[in-house]
Amino acid sequence: MACLTVLDGSLKGQRFTLEQPLTRIGRRDGNDWVVQDGSISGTHCEIEKNDAGFVIRDLGSTNGTKVNNVTIKEITLSRNDIILIGEVPMMLEGDDVPQSEKAEPLAVPRTTIIIQPKRTLETPKEFGKKSNSNKIWVAVIVVLVLVIAYLLVQLFAGGGAGSGG
């Protein structure tokens, strides 16, 4: 027998058997299944059992009705469809619910592609080992400046003492 099972939220696990040819679902008294949730309209939707199976119709609800994440106005249901009435998720189950007609997957031949490099990879020159020539020049200049400074100090210090007489 077809039934709806709430999948999540405060109503999780609640089940409703679809025994009548037409089942109205909503928050208001007088519906066949009264679901007390603020996201569900007074008379939200209806499920009709016919020769093709089960058809769900949204009855102009505020928050809409979705089947497998698609907003619907009316659609034929399949076994294990996920129905979102307002914000309450439920699943349609039962042996008398037709299974969906899924297309056979296409057989795609497998192809293996091997890609080989045309040349070997070399480290770019700018990433190679840097020479120390710049450091050597800096050291030479520093030494020369120190030698010149020392000589100037000696020259002025020596010249000032000898002329005092």
Locate the domains of the chain by residue range: 3-93
Residues comprising the chain, all counted: 165
Nearest to 94 by CA among 77, 109, 111: 77
Q: What pLDDT, in 10s, does the model give residues 47-102?
A: 999 888 899 999 999 999 999 999 999 999 888 999 999 999 999 988 878 787 66
Assessment of whether the complete model's pTM goes beyond 0.85: no
Pick the CATH number of 3-93 from 1.10.10.10, 3.40.640.10, 3.90.1300.10, 2.60.200.20: 2.60.200.20
| Bridging pattern class, strands 22-26 and 33-34 | parallel
Q: Residue 135 corresponds to which amino acid?
A: K
CA distance 41 to 139: 86
Residue 23 φ/ψ, nearest 5 degrees: -120, 120
Other beta carbons less than 10 A from residue 90's beta carbon: 23
